[in-house]
């Protein structure tokens, strides 16, 4: 079945969300609409739609003009099973003791490594992205250094790969994974089952720390948050409230040029920087709560 995409960019979130809503009302109706902040520090937003019938480019042009957006770029995609394609292309990722792999590489886990099976899915976090890799390396290093958190929260967990890594690194810890997106929670729960960790990690749908399980378990010795700069800065005061004194926060989803702003926000809320790891254009921060 043929698929068409239509993408444009806008200067701010409100305009992007308004255009996204308008796009959903089109005929033919799109199969899906996405509204995303562009991760380059520009503050610009992207709106995209996926169609199984060719969209009316005249209508798209009128919509773009009405919402002060750039003209839509419309493309017809070849008939490809993209998830299957990505599964074939994704190679295993090694991060200290962790070996993150797809089902097609299940027999390749090296001796002495811990395998984490994460197939390509809708939720973010296969281990290949510099942000996820940086967090996995931070978990491995903290465990090697003797840090032993009794309680761990993975905020914005995506596939739950970080929560699973924490459960493996610290088998006696209580680990809670949360995500604001219901689909991500479903993916996370499926990954926990596949990896035999459903009994080790509690997975909940929540915005930030707003869930009874998080509220009753916190404050936490370790908080993992691989999201984006804006939400991380917004969460800084709440993160401080939910992190124990002398606890750690591992933060990523941060472009290198954004790191100083995130560090400043957390220093203003009682954290101090312990470690910074730049992988490509992405930064992972390890901070300690005073």
Instruction: Tell me the pLDDT of the chain averaged across its residues.
Output: 87
- What was the pLDDT predicted at 4? 87
Look at residue 102 and tell me whether its pLDDT is greater than 90: no
Interval 44-74: pLDDT, tens: 899 998 888 899 999 999 999 999 999 999 9
Of residues 90 and 124, more confidence is placed in 90
Look at residue 100 and tell me whether its pLDDT is greater than 50: yes
Mean pLDDT, range 219-237, rounded to an integer: 94
**CB 273 within 8 Å of CB 287:** yes
- What was the pLDDT predicted at 125? 47
Interval 12-38: pLDDT, tens: 989 999 999 999 888 888 888 888 887
- What was the pLDDT predicted at 268? 98
CB atoms within 10 A of CB 158: 27
Burial of residue 59 (number of CB atoms within 10 Å: 0-12, 13-18, 19+): middle
Tell me the pairing of strands 282-289 and 98-101.
unpaired
Interval 245-282: pLDDT, tens: 999 999 998 989 999 999 999 999 999 999 999 988 88
Interval 154-212: pLDDT, tens: 999 988 999 999 999 999 999 999 998 888 899 899 999 999 999 999 999 999 999 99
- What was the pLDDT predicted at 40? 64
Band of pLDDT at residue 86, cut at 50, 70 and 90: very low
DSSP structure string for 143-202: HHTT---SEEEEET-TT-HHHHHHHHH-TTSEEEEEES-HHHHHHHHHHHHHTT-TTTEE
Look at residue 286 and tell me whether its pLDDT is greater than 60: yes
- The continuous run of DSSP H or E covering 287 comes out as strand 282-289
- What was the pLDDT predicted at 123? 38
pTM exceeding 0.85: no
- What was the pLDDT predicted at 119? 67
Percent of residues in the chain assigned helix, strand, coil, to nearest 5: 35, 30, 35
| Residue 167: both structure tokens together | 């459960």
Interval 114-153: pLDDT, tens: 788 886 544 344 444 578 889 999 999 999 999 999 999 9
């Amino acid at each position: 079945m043929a698929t068409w995409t239509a993408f444009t960019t806008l200067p701010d979130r409100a305009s992007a969300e308004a255009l996204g809503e308008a796009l959903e009302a089109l005929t033919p109706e799109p199969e899906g609409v996405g509204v995303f902040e562009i991760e380059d520090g520009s503050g610009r937003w992207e709106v995209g739609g996926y169609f199984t019938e060719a969209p009316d480019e005249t209508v798209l042009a009128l919509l773009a003009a009405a919402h002060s957006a750039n003209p839509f770029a419309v493309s017809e995609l070849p008939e490809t099973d993209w998830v299957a394609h990505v599964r074939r292309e994704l190679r295993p990722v090694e991060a200290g003791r962790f070996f993150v792999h797809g089902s097609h590489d299940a027999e390749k886990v090296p001796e002495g490594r811990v395998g984490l099976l994460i197939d390509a899915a809708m939720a973010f976090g296969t281990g290949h992205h510099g942000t996820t890799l940086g967090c996995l390396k931070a978990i491995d290093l903290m465990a090697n250094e003797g840090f032993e958190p009794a309680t761990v929260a993975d905020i914005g967990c995506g596939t739950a790969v970080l929560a699973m890594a924490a459960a493996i690194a610290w088998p006696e810890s209580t680990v809670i994974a949360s995500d604001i997106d219901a689909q991500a929670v479903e993916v996370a729960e499926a990954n926990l089952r596949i990896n035999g960790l459903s009994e080790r990690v509690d997975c909940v749908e929540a915005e930030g720390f707003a869930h009874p399980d998080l509220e009753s378990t916190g404050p936490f010795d370790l908080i993992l948050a691989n999201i984006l700069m804006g939400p991380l800065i917004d969460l800084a005061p709440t993160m401080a409230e939910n992190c124990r004194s002398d606890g750690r926060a591992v933060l990523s989803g941060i472009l290198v040029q954004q790191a100083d702003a995130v560090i400043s926000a957390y220093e203003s809320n009682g954290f101090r920087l312990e470690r910074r790891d730049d992988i490509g254009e992405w930064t992972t921060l390890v901070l300690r709560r005073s």
